[in-house]
Amino acid sequence: MKLLRYGDEGQEKWGILDGQGQIRTLEDALIHVTGEEMTLDWLAQLQKLEPETLPILKAEHRIGACIPRPRNFVCIGLNYADHAAETGAKAPKEPIVFLKSLSAFCGPYDDVIIPPGSEKTDWEIELGVVIGAKASRVSEDAALDYVAGYAVVNDVSERHWQVERGGSWDKGKGADHFGPVGPWLVTKDEVADPQNLKLFCEVDGQMMQDGTTANMIFGVKTLVSYVSQFITLYPGDIIATGTPAGVGMGQKPNPIFLRPGQSLRLGVEGLGEQRSKTVGG
């Protein structure tokens, strides 16, 4: 099942993608769905619906982030050995965990805003893991039982602020529109192996990142378990699992960073693509 959300920012409604790629509205169907939104039981009820019987979304609408604003937007740093190497860092012995500000959370086609004073705004295609059940100190063996599905994430980063402004990653990660999510929430039953997905990022039509989740240092079940040892995860929370090589700061011989007026296209196999423009803040 592929779920999405459409409408103005902060007023999104649920939709579902049918087999022909058409958006069907869920507004009427949700009247008969019980329980807390984004839980595994709530999603299981939606999976019993026949998308082709639901109304087609006829008018043009903005496509928002594919999940409501989460309680926790968790990110993992340096989780691909090739990315760690291109930044000059050693592969970590444990996952590097940080939180992305919820002000960064936005839709997959929204503009990426380069904030005033930014010198080194960068891109990062990532597999996002969406949580479907409250998870606290769960084991690796049970970790995937707490996963609702997967989504595309762009962990936009300002490298000067992240690396050169006191060593706190959070301030380089949390600017407005630095966290596009979607276009779809793809339920886990449609993803046979989250450790075997291709992912890519293009800037102005040039392929910059071309990787696979098979190269993660710490896989999805390890990350869900690990994060849950320190942060209680709730239905609708998301973990962005790190990025492969090819980010702007890693380009040789000279780094390349985003500027206003550029286009981004990025995606993960089976999870859809994001397309956005960069604009000055």
Q: What is the CATH number of the domain that holds 200?
A: 3.90.850.10
Q: Encode pLDDT of 201-248 as tens digits.
A: 999 999 999 999 999 999 999 999 999 999 999 999 999 999 999 999
| Cα angle for residues 80, 85, 91 (degrees, 5° grid) | 55
The one-letter code for the residue type at 247 is V
On whether residue 66 sits in a domain, the answer given is: no
Decide if 180 contacts 155 (C-beta within 8 A): no
Range of the domain at 38: 2-53
- Mean pLDDT for 128-156 is 98
pTM, entire model = 0.97
Q: Encode pLDDT of 169-199 as tens digits.
A: 889 999 999 999 999 999 999 999 999 999 9
Q: Which residues contact 31 (CB under 8 A, 6 or more apart)?
A: none
On whether residue 49 sits in a domain, the answer given is: yes
Pairing of β 23-25 and β 105-106? unpaired
- CA–CA separation, 53 and 144 (whole Å): 31
Q: Are residues 118 and 226 in the same domain?
A: yes
R_g of the chain computed on alpha carbons? 18
Q: Which residues contact 46 (CB under 8 A, 6 or more apart)?
A: 1, 3, 16, 26, 29, 33
**In the chain, what is the straight-line distance between the N-terminal and C-terminal CA atoms, in Å?**
36
Please report which confidence band the pLDDT of residue 84 belongs to, taking 50, 70 and 90 as the band edges.
Answer: confident
Q: Are residues 260 and 153 in the same domain?
A: yes
Q: Are residues 276 and 144 in the same domain?
A: yes
Q: Are residues 28 and 155 in the same domain?
A: no
Q: Are residues 181 and 231 in the same domain?
A: yes
- Mean pLDDT for 157-167 is 89
Please report which confidence band the pLDDT of residue 24 belongs to, taking 50, 70 and 90 as the band edges.
Answer: very high
Q: Domain count for the chain, please give it.
A: 2
Q: Are residues 148 and 15 in the same domain?
A: no
In eight-state DSSP terms, residue 128 is E
